[in-house]
Amino acid sequence: MSKPALQALVSITVMGSALGGTIDSSRMAPPAHCKCFPGDTCWPTPVEWEAFNKTVHGRLVATVPIASVCHHDSFTDYDATRCQHLRDDWLQPEIHYTSSSSIMAQYFANMSCDPFSKPSAKCTLGNYVRYAVNATGPDDYQKTMEFATHRNIRFVIRNTGHDYFGKSTGAGALALWTHHMKDISVLDYKSQGYNGKALKMGAGVQVQEALAAAHAEGLVVPGGQCQTVGIVGGYTQAGGHSLLASVIGLSADLVLEWEVVTPVGEYLVATPSNHSDLYWALSGGGGGAYAAVLSVTVKAFPDVQTAAGVLTFTLSSGVTRERFFRAVKAFLQNLPNLVDAGGAALWTLADGSSWSAHSTFLDAYIAMNAKQNVTDGNMAAYLWPRDPVTSEANAAKLTDTLNKLVTGTRVITGGLSFNVARPQKTVEPIPNSVNPAWRTSIHYSAFGLPYNRTSQAANDAAWDKITNVYAPSLDRLVPGGMSSYINEANPFDPNWKRVFYGNNYHQLLEIKDKYDPAGILYGLTVVGSDRYQVQKGGQLCRVQR
Ligand SMILES: Cc1cc2nc3c(=O)[nH]c(=O)nc-3n(C[C@H](O)[C@H](O)[C@H](O)COP(=O)(O)OP(=O)(O)OC[C@H]3O[C@@H](n4cnc5c(N)ncnc54)[C@H](O)[C@@H]3O)c2cc1C
Ligand SMILES: *[C@@H]1O[C@H](CO)[C@@H](O)[C@H](O)[C@H]1NC(C)=O
Ligand SMILES: *[C@@H]1O[C@H](CO)[C@@H](O)[C@H](O)[C@H]1NC(C)=O
Ligand SMILES: *[C@@H]1O[C@H](CO)[C@@H](O)[C@H](O)[C@H]1NC(C)=O
Ligand SMILES: *[C@@H]1O[C@H](CO)[C@@H](O)[C@H](O)[C@H]1NC(C)=O
Ligand SMILES: *[C@@H]1O[C@H](CO)[C@@H](O)[C@H](O)[C@H]1NC(C)=O
Ligand SMILES: *[C@@H]1O[C@H](CO)[C@@H](O)[C@H](O)[C@H]1NC(C)=O
> Among 17-26, 152-161, 505-514, which stretch is predicted with the lowest mean pLDDT?
17-26
**Residues 209-228, mean pLDDT to the nearest whole number:** 88
* Cα of 49 vs its chain's centroid, Å: 28
Radius of gyration of the chain (CA): 24
Q: Ligand 5: which residues within 6 Å by Cβ?
A: 88-89, 91, 360, 363-364, 373
Answer left, alpha or beta for residue 20, where phi above 0 means left and psi between -120 and 50 means alpha.
left
**Paired sense of beta strands 60-62 and 173-177, if any:** unpaired
Q: Closest residue (by CA) to atom 37 of ligand 1?
A: 233
Check if 158 has its Cβ closer than 6 Å to any atom of ligand 1.
Answer: yes
**For residues 172 and 42, what is the distance between their CA atoms, to the nearest angstrom?**
12
Answer left, alpha or beta for residue 528, where phi above 0 means left and psi between -120 and 50 means alpha.
left
**Residues 131-156, mean pLDDT to the nearest whole number:** 98
Whether residue 299 contacts residue 190, with contact meaning beta carbons closer than 8 Å, is answered with no
Cα of 89 vs centre of ligand 5, distance in Å, is: 9
**Residues 3-12, mean pLDDT to the nearest whole number:** 22
Check if 4 has its Cβ closer than 6 Å to any atom of ligand 2.
Answer: no
**Residues 422-443, mean pLDDT to the nearest whole number:** 82
**For residues 83 and 204, what is the distance between their CA atoms, to the nearest angstrom?**
28
**For residues 209 and 185, what is the distance between their CA atoms, to the nearest angstrom?**
11
Check if 160 has its Cβ closer than 6 Å to any atom of ligand 1.
Answer: yes
User: Quick one: which atom of ligand 5 is closest to the CA of 372?
Assistant: 13
- Per DSSP (E only), the strands in 428-510 are 441-450
> Among 118-127, 283-292, 347-356, 357-366, which stretch is predicted with the lowest mean pLDDT?
357-366
Instruction: Name which of 533, 540, 529 is nearest 285 in CA terms.
Output: 529
Q: Closest residue (by CA) to atom 8 of ligand 2?
A: 58
Helices 392-406/321-340 angle, 10° precision: 120
pTM of the model as a whole: 0.91
The reported pLDDT for the residue numbered 427 is 55
Quick one: three-class SS letters along 48-62? HHHHHHHHCCCCEEE
**Residues 30-38, mean pLDDT to the nearest whole number:** 90
Whether residue 308 contacts residue 319, with contact meaning beta carbons closer than 8 Å, is answered with no
User: Quick one: which atom of ligand 4 is closest to the CA of 269?
Assistant: 5
**For residues 192 and 204, what is the distance between their CA atoms, to the nearest angstrom?**
28
Sign of the dihedral defined by the CA atoms of residues 215, 217, 220, 224, in that order: negative
Query: Would the pLDDT of 129 be above 80?
Result: yes
CA dist 350 → 389, 406, 412 (Å): 19, 6, 5
- Per DSSP (E only), the strands in 191-342 are 195-202, 219-220, 255-261, 267-270, 292-299, 301-302
pLDDT, averaged across the chain: 86
Whether residue 290 contacts residue 520, with contact meaning beta carbons closer than 8 Å, is answered with no
**Residues 130-149, mean pLDDT to the nearest whole number:** 98
User: Quick one: which atom of ligand 6 is closest to the CA of 461?
Assistant: 5
Q: Closest residue (by CA) to atom 20 of ligand 1?
A: 234
The reported pLDDT for the residue numbered 352 is 55
Query: Would the pLDDT of 175 be above 60?
Result: yes
Whether residue 177 contacts residue 155, with contact meaning beta carbons closer than 8 Å, is answered with no
Check if 268 has its Cβ closer than 6 Å to any atom of ligand 4.
Answer: yes
Helix locations, 2-124, DSSP H: 2-14, 46-55, 80-89, 93-97
Query: Would the pLDDT of 314 be above 90?
Result: no
The reported pLDDT for the residue numbered 428 is 61
Q: Closest residue (by CA) to atom 4 of ligand 7?
A: 110
Q: Closest residue (by CA) to atom 9 of ligand 5?
A: 357
Please compute, for residue 499, the number of CA atoms within 13 A of its CA located in the half-sphere on the CB side.
26
Largest CA distance in the chain: 82
pLDDT digits (tens, 9 = 90+) for 356-397: 332 233 333 334 344 566 767 788 889 988 877 778 888 888
